[in-house]
Amino acid sequence: MKKLIVIEGDLKALKNRLQKGRIVKGRIVLIISDKHYLLRLLGRNLIMSSPLRFKRFQEVYFKVIALHPRIQLQVFNPQRELIFRHQPKMTDIIA
């Protein structure tokens, strides 16, 4: 099963800045619990729920999968993508 990052809430301004297929960089600002993080993405702080483990201040690349009805992102590793052309695992994020 692919793990998706899902961002919910009133994110109209964020949706206007995203395009399907675009790669964006975010930063883990704070570890809230073992599965919840505060993510800074395009100037906005979002609550992220993920079974994957991240470190505080870690920078993470995401690929935009969908914008409607919710924003869905996929964890993206640029080096792996360029070398292996392999699609990295996904995770769930809800804000």
In a domain, 61, yes or no: yes
In a domain, 93, yes or no: no
- Total structural domains within the chain: 1
Domain that holds residue 57: 5-84
Assign 9 to helix, strand or coil.
Answer: coil
In a domain, 90, yes or no: no
CATH number at residue 21: 2.40.50
| H or E element at residue 80 | helix 78-84
Model confidence over 68-82: pLDDT tens digits? Answer: 877 788 888 876 654
Return the higher-pLDDT residue of 72 and 8.
72
CA distances for 25 relative to 1, 22, angstroms: 24, 10
Where is mean pLDDT largest: 10-14, 60-64, 89-93?
60-64
Model confidence over 44-69: pLDDT tens digits? Answer: 888 877 888 899 999 999 888 888 87
